[in-house]
């Protein structure tokens, strides 16, 4: 399990290694055909800030060689904000006082129809709070079965499950799983996750192994930028990606680095990442792994997303509602976080095409399942 590999890396020592990188280390990393984890540390280090232009050129070249001039589109559907966790930064924290919603199968189908009217999305991301008692595997399986006739590609972002549960869901139309580790800092993890299933660090970080063991087609990873030193966190995620590729090589992978947005809990980020640093991180991941899908959500503003679409990103959401039932059933319910890019899917598509890129609404067909 990955937790055993992670235990070999000391957080503070890794931070010192990153901060010790010099321009020569960055130049060596840029010239490497197969960058190592040490090269990745150089590319996310402060020393690399002066190399954004060559990093951007290399990132664009690698992205176009692997993915062409395309951006895949997806849309999230939140089906419940019920949660048993106490994450201090999240609007769904169980201690926040607001009405909890668990969509019925009919309401989920209504949301599907509303999304299909919105745009020709085929990639749907089903999102839930973590409530195994009231919205557990049976509920998630039923939601997948309801959504399957409407979408060719179904991904879930839910509580970590057992390997046999992931496999069970693949038999009901599941194609991919997204899970945010939030932070790899084991020592501080429970500061942000004091109670609930999410407080179990090993169970969460080893969930990716269970996804791979179940034969999940695509696994999405991410850290929440704003909790801990971002350079160290993303280095641990790069280590994790490297590990997963070695052990579950048939699986596709994606990464996401959401910056903290306002939520009901009013948690103030401990670390603030600038747009230039987010661009640097995107370039570093593309140079480190030419095959990984890099996703950028509507947390980021329109101008940043327009620029990064030509420099390393490969998938984007559009028209996102982060509240359960937000497309049709409960249009005014509480969001998990506020979006920054409020353009319609058609406007996002138009801007992508204006940059000379093709919008891909579908990259998977039911017949492959």
SS3 call for 268: coil
Averaged pLDDT of the chain:
94
Half-sphere exposure of 35 (CA within 13 A, CB side): 30
At 368 the pLDDT is 66
CA 24 from centroid of its chain's CA atoms: 32
- CATH code, domain with 14: 3.20.20.70
Question: In terms of pLDDT, which residue wins out, 115 or 362?
Answer: 115
CB 267 within 8 Å of CB 88: yes
Domain presence at residue 109? yes
CA 349 from centroid of its chain's CA atoms: 21
CB 331 within 8 Å of CB 87: no
Is the sign of the CA dihedral 355, 67, 294, 196 positive or negative? positive
At 363 the pLDDT is 77
CA 282 from centroid of its chain's CA atoms: 13
Tokens of 267: 């948690």
Over residues 340-361, mean pLDDT: 95
Which tens digits make up the pLDDT trace of 24-60?
999 999 999 999 999 999 999 999 999 999 999 999 9
Domain presence at residue 368? no
CA gap 318, 356 in Å, rounded: 18
CA gap 209, 207 in Å, rounded: 5
Which tens digits make up the pLDDT trace of 187-213?
999 999 999 999 999 999 999 999 999
Which tens digits make up the pLDDT trace of 261-317?
755 457 788 999 999 999 999 999 999 999 999 999 999 999 999 999 999 999 999
Which tens digits make up the pLDDT trace of 62-105?
999 999 999 999 999 999 999 999 999 987 888 887 788 999 99
Phi then psi dihedrals of residue 154, to 5 deg: -120, 125
Provide the domain limits for residue 334: 2-362
Domain presence at residue 367? no
Q: Which residue, among 55, 57, 14, 59, has the nearest Cα to 38 in the 3D structure?
A: 14
At 264 the pLDDT is 46
At 337 the pLDDT is 53
Over residues 99-125, mean pLDDT: 96
Domain presence at residue 333? yes
Domain presence at residue 96? yes
Domain presence at residue 219? yes
At 340 the pLDDT is 85
Residue with tokens 């049709």: 328
CA gap 162, 203 in Å, rounded: 9
At 333 the pLDDT is 53
Question: In terms of pLDDT, which residue wins out, 268 or 125?
Answer: 125
Question: In terms of pLDDT, which residue wins out, 272 or 238?
Answer: 238
Is the sign of the CA dihedral 80, 233, 185, 271 positive or negative? negative
Q: What is the pTM of this model?
A: 0.94
332 pLDDT higher than 70: no
Phi then psi dihedrals of residue 182, to 5 deg: 75, -60
Domain presence at residue 369? no
Please tell me the total count of domains within the chain: 1
Non-local CB neighbours of 99 within 8 Å, separated by 6+ positions: 333
364 pLDDT higher than 80: no
Non-local CB neighbours of 187 within 8 Å, separated by 6+ positions: 11
Burial code (b: 16+ CB inside 10 Å, e: under 16) for 204-227 equals bbbbbbbbbebebbbbbbbbbbbb
Banded model confidence at residue 322, pLDDT cuts 50, 70, 90: confident
Residue with tokens 């048993």: 84
324 pLDDT higher than 70: yes
366 pLDDT higher than 90: no
Tokens of 114: 């509303």
């Amino acid at each position: 399990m990955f937790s055993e590999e992670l235990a070999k890396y000391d957080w503070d020592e890794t931070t010192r290694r990153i901060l010790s990188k010099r321009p020569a280390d960055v130049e060596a990393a840029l010239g490497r055909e197969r960058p190592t984890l040490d090269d990745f540390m150089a590319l996310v280090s402060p020393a690399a800030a002066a190399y954004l232009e060559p990093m951007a050129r290399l990132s664009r070249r690698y992205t176009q060689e692997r993915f062409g001039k395309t951006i895949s589109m997806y849309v999230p559907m939140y089906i419940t904000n019920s949660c048993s966790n106490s994450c201090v930064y999240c609007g769904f924290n169980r201690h926040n006082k607001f009405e909890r919603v668990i969509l019925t199968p009919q309401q989920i189908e209504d949301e599907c129809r509303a999304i299909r009217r919105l745009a020709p999305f085929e990639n749907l991301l089903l999102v839930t709070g973590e409530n195994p008692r009231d919205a557990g595997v049976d509920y998630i399986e039923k939601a997948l079965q309801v959504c399957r006739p409407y979408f060719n590609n179904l991904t879930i972002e839910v509580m970590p499950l057992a390997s046999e549960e992931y496999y069970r869901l693949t038999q009901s139309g599941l194609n991919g799983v997204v899970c945010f580790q939030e932070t790899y800092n084991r020592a501080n993890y429970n500061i942000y996750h004091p109670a609930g299933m999410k407080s179990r660090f090993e169970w969460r970080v080893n969930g990716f192994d269970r996804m791979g063991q179940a034969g999940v087609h695509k696994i999405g990873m991410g850290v929440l930028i704003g909790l801990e030193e971002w350079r160290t966190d993303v280095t641990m995620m790069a280590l994790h990606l490297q590990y997963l590729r070695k052990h579950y090589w048939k699986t596709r992978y994606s990464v996401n680095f959401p910056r903290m947005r306002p939520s009901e809990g009013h948690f103030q980020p401990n670390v603030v990442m600038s747009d230039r640093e987010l661009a640097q991180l995107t370039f570093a991941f593309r140079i480190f792994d030419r095959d990984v899908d890099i996703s950028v959500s509507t947390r980021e503003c329109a101008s940043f997303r327009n620029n990064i679409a030509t420099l390393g990103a490969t998938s984007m959401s559009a028209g996102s509602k982060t509240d359960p039932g937000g497309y049709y059933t409960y249009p005014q319910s509480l969001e998990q976080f506020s979006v920054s890019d409020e353009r319609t899917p058609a406007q996002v598509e138009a801007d992508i095409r204006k940059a000379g890129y093709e919008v891909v609404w579908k990259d998977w067909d039911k017949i492959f399942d």
